[in-house]
Structure formats: structure tokens, C-alpha cells
Amino acid sequence: MTTRTNWVLTTLCAALLAACGSGNDDVTSASPGATTDLDAVADQRAAALVAQMTLDEKIQMVHGVGTQTGPLGGAGYIPGIPRLGIPDYYIADSATGVYQTLNGSPVVNGATAMPSTIALAASWDTQLAYNYGAQIGKELRTIGFTEGLGGGVDLARELRNGRTFEYMGEDPVLAGYMIAARTTGTQDQKVVATIKHYAANDQETNRFTSNSIIDERTLRELHLLPFEIGVKTGKPGNVMCSYNLVNGVKACENKYLLTDVLKTEWGFKGKVQSDWFEALTDTVRGANAGLDEEEGGSTDDSTGFYGIATYFNQKLKAAVQGGTVAQSRLDDMVQRKLRTLIRLGIFDSPAALNGTIDQAAGNVATQAAAEQSMVLLKNSAPSNASAAVLPLNAATINSIVVIGGHADVGVLSGGGSGLTPPRDGNAVTCLQPTAMIAGQVTACATFYKSSPLAAIKAKAPNATVTYLDGSDATAAAAAAANADVAIVFGTQWQTEGGDLPSLALPNNATDPANQAYDQNALIAAVAASAKRSVVVLESGTAVTMPWLANVHAVLEAWYPGMQGGPAIANILFGATNPSGKLPITFPQADTDQPQKAISSTDLNVTYSEGLQIGYRWYDAQNIQPLFPFGHGLSYTTFAYSGLTTAVDSSGNLTATFTVKNTGSVAGAEVAQLYTAMPSAAGEPPRRLIGWQKVQLAAGEAKTVTVSANNERLAIWDINLHQWHIPAGAYTFYAAASSRDANAISKTQTLEEKILPISK
């Protein structure tokens, strides 16, 4: 069982699964001659509706009535008000696709499973992010859902976090702009998009009670920044606050986060929604802090939902009547929801229920996303050859052995609310079907029926292609020795509800429900005997690789979605040139991370690394990573030249340089721009400030322009509580990764600037 409600029904306790605009322009004025400003129109129409509502109707609008309720089921449901034309409000998990559940079971609705969100981040492609959001938005609306709960952007501070695969990596600028594009794509389909989990929700251990202790500068420069960019640029209708405490206060009851920063400083016009149960613990504190909606909620606060306490139904009504929550605060809660529905065109055109999903279109979309997201980590030549192992040439290969990872039947998905249920059942039988993680979530992984083996056979029709399940390392090594190429699949399953014990590929001891053998031992055995060895990883976070020096190629496929098999084959055989880049640093060992271990007993999670997160940590501490942030190889080569930079009077940067494809095949390069700030700024060695993904034919050169607004060059001033550009020399680097030895640079002196608060 992997949905919120399944866990509710299973545990009947507070340890539940968490849920972890740009809008349409068809809003019309309420009267001729009224303002044509679409935001103002939405506000006016919403205010007119609120003025007509009774107290009970207003309370009805700000809480769910449980989960898996209503005609569609799903994560949440708020009945509408027919007399005012207010439609029913249906909510579904949608990290990678529509997760619809009813009466304790997933609904087989034909939804498309897209690649994991970490894979999307690895594409570094904002247009793809828009398309990704649009595809999921279309399917949400087709089924009838009003709101999708995708959109995780908590930073990968702790790579063992069970939800790393749901998030957008370790850099706030990359995560922020990618989630903004995804948000716009969803909301352009007349579906409310969510950005979550606000804020600093960076591990699953003690997830309802952990306290993230973060200094103001670190909080603003890193852990709030992806939300800030996402809110200002993507204009989501919904921000979900998280379970954890931030500096001693529950995130959903934290006035600094919800009102002072999100609503006042950033100008957020949508609603703030609680994570599902246990995120809210006090009616008055939550409402006055700025929480606008309680989910999953219940029909009766006195009994809660399956015995789990709720707070925004009868308790909120009593608080309003008693004056501890102002009537104006309740009106604002309702106003925010209604103005969002109007602004996005949902109010006037609510979705019909139970439409038919275009599965063929979904298959095209998910395969395209997978192919643009995979990262070629290593690609070397055998000792007796000059050419790198990949891409494989079907015309010259006589035999291939595919080994392990259930590659004969399917590809791996993440678990929890980040899962999109398969259309046609799980491809793999769990070894321990009753096993649970922390008593909350099934320990069984889901595999989509998209066989890499079948796709490889289709790419090499004249070769002998065999499969071994990996359980016998000796047999696998012998088969590898006799084949032209050995392709070994490694799988690392993650899920909401629990953290990984290690970044090492799991074995039969560390993941007994899903692994029947030691994966590292298998890969080492194959590498020792194979003429040419390729490792394909299906993971949701970084993987340590003790065998790396002995294999010829490594492809990070992430959780590639329900067309992952053909996508992997297209990359391996060069039908698609890999263009993904790492959105996270791959360390050589678990203990290379700032947090050496995840404590199961200490509820205080102190962010003692400060500004040194991800690649900033490895650079500042002079630690050599296994693979650096931004790294990713291609089947062609690129050269950078001619960097120039200009900064305008407001501190906005424009960098221009040339990227040339110096190889023999077309490819795409993610050209990254970093800055090293003046030493007085007190920053880590480099920070990403922008990028552009550029498509180039063989031999083609293009001028690349990367623009970065002034906040990308600023630090957070804890005295002024504003962004501040320190005076001094800034060195800008155009590079293929955060540690590109061939990066080109330009130094420019900037004047000090205090930046005004912008919305």
C-alpha cells in the first residue's frame, strides 16, 4: 500500500503518508467596463462570492473531508457550493503522473507515469519541464481533478532522503526555474499546481516531528530560494507546507514562513495548504500564521479522520465565532482559493469527470522526457580499442548479455505518493509482500512493464541477446566473458516514509523485499571478465560505485517512467545522444556528505554546513566527488570560447559566449554559468547563476546568452533582511560542469547594491 489513504486505513494512527500563474486568459469581467487586469478581475469576482457566503460555507471551503472521498477519490476532496456556482474541488497526487485512489486501492485510469522529478531536473531543460507539467496537467483535468500535488523542490541536502527522487536536486536556481516551468505547464491546462514541501523538509526520518535548525542566511539563500523563484516566476495556485518544524515552529504554523515571507514579501496570491494530517496541530496558531487549507481534513473535528485529529472544521468555526481567528482571516482563506480558480479558468470551466486519457500521447511524452534526462556518467574504451564503448553499433555486435535489475520485464519506479500506479500491474513479484517500512509504507518496489531487454533486442535484431537475472555472479561473469558486450542493470529503490541506509546499491540484506543478491559483487564480477561492460543505473539519488574503475561505461537512467525500456535502448545505441547533466553531486562515500549519518533519535536536525550544500560543500571542503554537479557526457564534444559579461545599473548580468560542437554527431550541451564572489562575501567557492541548453549539429557553433537577475549575484543580508550585492571582483565561469577543468572565465568588478524587495 503506497497512498496516503492506504496508510490511514492500515495504521489508523498519526503516522500517515504525506502528500508527500501563469494562468489562462479566459477570465471575464463581472460587468461591462470593469478593469481588464486579469488578476484584479479574479480578485473582484472572488470577493463578490465571499461576500455572499455564510460562515458554514466559508468553513466548508478551507478543509478537506478526508482522503479517498467523493466521486473521484484521490488525495483530497472539498465539496463545492452549487448555489454560488462554486465547483467541487478534487485533489490528486501527481509527482510523476495522476495517482488516483478510491476505497483503499489505486484506480487503473490509464495515467502516464513520467520519469522521476530528479530525472526531469537532470534534463536542465525548462521547455521539457513545461511539457512535463502540461502532460500531467492534461491527464489530471481529463480525469476531473482540480489540483495536482506534484512540485517538490526541497533541496538534496541529504542524499539518502527517501524522497530525493521527487525533488529537483541540490541547487536552488536550477530547482527554482525548473519547477516554475513545470508549474506553468500544469496551470495552462486549467489545473491548480502545487509547490512543496515548504520548507526544509529534507529527510523522512522522524518526518512528523523533526526540527530543521537553520540560520537566516542559509535559509534564505538556499532552502527558501527554489520556492521563491518558483512562486515569483511560476505563480502556483497552491503551496503545501511541510510536516517538520523550522527553527522550533511547525512549518504549517510558522508565521515567518507563511505570511511574512511567502505572502507579504513574495506576493504569493494563492493558498497555503497543509500536508496530509499531522502537519497542523493547533487551529488558532495555524490560521493566524497564514495556513489557508487543511488536508486531508474531516467532516467532524471531534472525531477526526479515522481517529486522526483535524482542526479546520468545527474548531475553526468556533475560533472565528470566539474572535481568536478574525473573520477577515477566514475570508482571506476563501478569497485565495476562489481567485485562483477564477484566474486559471477553472471556475467558469470545471473539468468533467472520468474522461479517457490519451495513452499513446502519454507514451510519447514520457519516452521523450526519459531520453532527455538520462546522464552518461562514464564512457571509455577497452584497453584493446580506440573507440568508447557507447554508443553500441548493432551492425558490428554479434552477442549481448543483459544482466540483473529485472531488465527482462521492466523498469523501476519510486514509491509513496511519488508513484504513478502502472496501467497493467507490477512487472515484478515482491520477495516479502507483507514487509513494511516504519510500519507505514510497503517495502515492495513497483516496476513498469517496459522491458529494456526487449528494446535492446529490437535495436540489435541480428545479434544474439541473452538474459541472466544476476542471482549467480559466477554464471554472469562467464556469460559476460563470452559476449561482445555485457550490460548490467543496477537498481536502487526509494520511497516516501523512510530514508536509505546507504547510497550503495542495495543487496539482499539491506533491501530484502526487492533484492535477491549483492549487486556490487555482481557488477564487479562482470567487469572483471567482460570485453566491454556497461552499467545502467535505475536510481532516485546518487549511487556509490566501488567498481567504477573497472567498467567501461555508466548510464544513469533514474526512474525512467513507463517507456523506460525503449528510452534506455535508444541512448545505448545512439538513436538519441545523451544530454542530461547531474542535478546532484555523486559522492565517493556516504560520509563525504555534510551530515555523516541520519539520527533516528535526535529530533533536532542542525544545518551546520550553512551555505555549503551540494557542490558548494565539496568545493569548500576540497573533497573530490565521484561525479560533480552538472557533469554529463555526450557522444560528441563541445568547446567554449569568447566569454563576455555585462552588468547593468540594477545589477542584472548578461553573459555571452560561443559553444561549438567539435564532434561528428549532433548533440545538446547544457552550458552552465557560475560565479565566484568576492572573498568578503563569505560564500562557497562557486554558485550556479544560470544556464542554457543548446542544440548543435556536428561542427556547428552558436552564440549563447545567459541572463541572470541581480538576486543571483546577491547574498542575504541578515541585518537589512534584504538581498545585497557586495562590492568587489566577481569571476564568471562558462562551464560544462561545476568542476570543468576547461571552463572559460571573465572577471568583473561590481559596485555594492542593496536590492529592493521584489514580488
Give the residue numbers marked as catalytic: 275
Dihedral sign from CA coordinates of 607, 612, 618, 623 = negative
Query: In whole angstroms, what is the distance from residue 539 CA to residue 543 CA?
Result: 8
Cα–chain center distance at 369 = 14
Q: How many CA atoms lie less than 13 Å away from 691 in the CB half-sphere?
A: 29
Distance of CA 604 to the CA centre of its chain: 25
Q: Which residues contact 572 (CB under 8 A, 6 or more apart)?
A: 390, 391, 392, 456, 459, 487, 534, 536, 555
Are 654 and 660 in contact by the 8 Å Cβ rule? The answer is no
Distant-in-sequence, close-in-space partners of 233: CB < 8 Å, separation ≥ 6: 176, 177, 180
Q: Please give the single-letter amino acid code of residue 654.
A: T
Ordered DSSP codes for 518-581: -HHHHHHHHHHH-SSEEEEEEESS--B-TTGGG-SEEEE--S--TTHHHHHHHHHTTSS-----
Q: Which residues pair with 195 in a beta bridge?
A: 239
List, in sequence order, every residue forming a beta bridge with 186; answer none if it has no partner.
none
Residue 117 Cα distances to 122, 183, 414, angstroms: 9, 13, 10
Render the burial of 669-698: b for 16+ CB within 10 Å, e for the rest. Answer: bbbbbbbbbbeebebbebbbbbbbbbebee
C-alpha 76/C-alpha 372 separation (Å) is 33
* Cis preceding linkage at 199, omega within 30: yes
Q: Which conformational region is residue 699 in: left (phi greater than 0), alpha (psi within -120 to 50 degrees), or beta?
A: left
C-alpha–C-alpha distance, residues 621 and 713, integer Å: 22
Of the candidates 728, 717, 723, 742, the residue with the CA atom closest to the CA atom of residue 216: 717
Query: What is the sign, positive or negative, of the torsion defined by CA atoms of 552, 557, 559, 561?
Result: negative
Q: What is the DSSP string of 699-743?
A: T-EEEEEEEE-GGGG-EEETTTTEEEE-SEEEEEEEESSTT-TT-
Interstrand relation of 715-717 and 722-725 (parallel, antiparallel or unpaired): antiparallel
Grid coordinates of 360 = 499513446
**Cell numbers linked to 422:** 502502472
